[in-house]
Chain A
């Protein structure tokens, strides 16, 4: 297996702010890598550096076997980049948008390529509809179709499903898996935990630093977090009181239950001890990916404060 993305020490600065701070990232061919992290953590900037839209201030590496900087034009031709904001033209029809993209990539037999893409999308009867009139979910699927028109070997998707309904998200992810099955490598940023779990592997970035790497299970197992779930007698109402306790990473209400987690088992016990209500039952549970990410974010903040 060869690494499709293999970059080391990527740095991007805007003035005094380091937005991406020595990020290493390697992704094997055909893998779907979920790119997670809080808003403003440098996900978009990293994606833009990989696809040649931004010049890194530091670091090096290869994308699709090409040098990240010198091979920019070659990389562009074999990469599909889907921007966070809808990047196609609202005032062109679906067919016209796809045709424009096909022409820019100098594809042969444009009419056929566009027709096939529209058929795959299932938009045959709406090909002459303006892209601006499509719903959010359809827009994203169309944008995806546009980015794979030239059969790229690498897909970079920047929060492709933000604001899209669950069914459309499901369809979108089915398509991503189908593309990966064809050997396309995918790096996709998201805020949704269910989407993170559908990825082969995850990279978690916070404040420009890569904090965790691996499969979802590996990341949870390596986190060293302990979690408890509380049920019964308005357990969810305990959340505000417990979240401020020392050593507690997260105290979150899920419906009528409460999810409590900490890297320190003793801290967990101390927090439970502050609850006098004996009607509440505490049981041990697996920490969730969300717990881990919140914990990692806190760690990143502590590191920043220490530095």
Chain B
């Protein structure tokens, strides 16, 4: 027979066999279609590098029509949303440290007078610059809004003030990250991503391996309880995760000069919780996955939104509502807020308590699912 024909025949045999095997693994097939669609949706709809509606506190000590017009104008830019009334500098600062407010706009006493007298009129804008990418477009919007308002409001006898080169100075203060360094934002967030990536996959693999190698049957025949198996499987990885965190922290200090302003114990507690949540998720995956390949696929499926929707890679507040809801359900989102809060802002336990509590609740829920899914029998 012609050697080319016979090579093609063997090739065909190979292709048919491979296609049949692929068809027998519906989860892999599903993942091959679901993951690209998920990527498309997340990158196409969820991610927005120009976030609007950022929570903003306004402190106005100048009750003039001009001040009120400026505040209204800033509001209509769409970049800011008023985050309730604030009546003191310290209250506003606390809100910013807790991450509930991203901008604080202060209009000083006598602002209108300064404008009229052509003295140096100032508006102070303090921005939470832990995510520097959200600051620049917002500041540009403020400047534009002020210029427009001045044009509209300073009419008649006041028009002379308008003629001045820059009648109002916007003094911008980038809090927590004065130089607007992207790495300050990336490094604490990366901790959350690294832990999600390694911890979920490691446990998912560790348990699936027991089933795949046939050691699970032997284990089940011995007097060991599901909770003991789960906790015992998880514990060594908690230690590994803790070492990972320590390594990243030291490296971020030495190489990137990222500060660590907060209390170590708050950070330690949150990290421990977060690691355990991820391990419990991995354990749950392993009770579903039938082999190690599926375990890896499921971990990847979980990792993708953890990177894109957690506020790690793109501003959380820039995402549409549905994406924020999904993002809020991911443990990485809360851990990243905590790590940025502790490291860059020196946020206290009380300020971060809601996020820490959310992690704890997630742990209880996922842990319960994991234990209830693990079977003592082979039924």
Contact = CB atoms under 8 A, between A and B. Distances in A.
Q: Are A and B interaction partners?
A: yes
B378 A48 contact: yes
A232 interface: no
A83 B214 contact: yes
A105 B378 CA distance: 20
Nearest to B222: A104
Given A54-B378, A54-B379, A105 B223 contact: yes
Contacts of B377: 52-55
B217 interface: yes
A88 B215 contact: yes
Contacts, number: 46
Interface in A67-122: 73, 76-77, 79, 81, 83, 85-90, 101, 104-105
Contacts of B215: 87-89
A2 to B, nearest CB: 23
Contacts of B88: none
A48 B377 CA distance: 9
A51 B215 CA distance: 16
Interface size class of B (residues with CB under 8 A): 10 to 19
Contact of A81 (B221, B224, B379): B221
Contacts of A101: 222
Contacts of B218: 81, 83, 87-88
Interface string B217-241: 1111111100000000000000000
A104 B223 contact: yes
A17 B251 CA distance: 60
B378 A86 contact: no
B17 interface: no
B23 interface: no
Interface string A53-73: 111000000000000000001
A194 B214 CA distance: 28
B219 to A, nearest CB: 8
Contacts of A77: 223
B213 interface: yes
A83 B219 CA distance: 10
Contact of B220 (A53, A88, A89, A105): A53
A76 B379 contact: no
A83 B217 contact: yes
19 contacts: A48-B378, A52-B221, A52-B377, A53-B217, A53-B220, A53-B378, A54-B378, A55-B379, A76-B222, A77-B223, A79-B221, A83-B221, A87-B215, A87-B217, A89-B215, A101-B222, A104-B222, A104-B223, A104-B224
